[in-house]
């Protein structure tokens, strides 16, 4: 059993560094993408305060398909360019949305969600999917959270075997 540490996130940079080390230890010795995604989602959901959804969407053709997550059941398929997730994926950049109601085209999976942070996952320049966090509190995520979660996403990608989309074509 992995006992998840509770972080106060008063010093966000330090706590994200500690959480990244914890994630590295949790994933050590395992390369399976689904197993690692499941444990990453569970760790983030437990460790991050005020988060009501934490999980993955993976790229399948021209759309994102939901992967392992914690939180309420979510919409399964999101076209590239749609919603916060599809926009982050299409533009391959982190999207920090303080108020989802102000984001045109936001896809509501849980009506309690107010803020969202979506980080694209990339491996050797190929888009793999996104890591998505939702919070019931407007403005929950800031630039430090974005940096911290980007580092967590990189740990997840480097720890996992990512089947190459090019090889599959």
Is residue 85 a contact point for ligand SME (CB under 6 A)? yes
Residue count at the site for ligand SME (CB under 6 A)? 15
Identify residues 111-150 at the interface with ligand SME (CB under 6 A): 113, 116, 132, 134
Provide the terminal-to-terminal Cα distance of the chain, rounded to the nearest Å.
39
Is residue 15 a contact point for ligand SME (CB under 6 A)? no
Is residue 107 a contact point for ligand SME (CB under 6 A)? yes
Q: What H or E segment, with its residue span, contains residue 37?
A: helix 33-47
Q: Which residues contact 77 (CB under 8 A, 6 or more apart)?
A: 63, 64, 65, 66
Identify residues 36-75 at the interface with ligand SME (CB under 6 A): 53, 74-75
Separation of CA 15 from chain center: 17
Distance CA 122, CA 130 (A): 9
Residues engaged in binding ligand SME (CB under 6 A): 53, 74-75, 78, 83-86, 106-107, 109, 113, 116, 132, 134
């Amino acid at each position: 059993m992995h006992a998840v540490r509770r972080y106060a996130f008063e010093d966000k940079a330090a706590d994200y560094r500690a959480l990244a080390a914890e994630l590295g230890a949790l994933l050590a010795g395992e390369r399976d993408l689904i197993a690692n995604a499941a444990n990453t989602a569970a760790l983030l959901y437990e460790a991050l305060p005020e988060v009501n959804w934490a999980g993955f969407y993976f790229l399948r053709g021209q759309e994102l398909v939901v992967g392992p997550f914690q939180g309420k059941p979510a919409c399964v398929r999101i076209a590239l360019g749609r919603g916060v997730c599809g926009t982050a994926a299409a533009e391959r950049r982190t999207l920090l949305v303080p108020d989802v109601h102000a984001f045109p085209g936001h896809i509501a999976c849980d009506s309690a969600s107010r803020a969202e942070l979506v980080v694209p996952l990339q491996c050797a320049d190929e888009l793999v999917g996104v890591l998505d966090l939702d919070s019931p509190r407007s403005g929950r995520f800031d630039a430090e959270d974005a940096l911290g979660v980007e580092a967590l996403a990189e740990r997840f990608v480097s720890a996992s075997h990512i089947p190459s989309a090019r090889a599959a074509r």
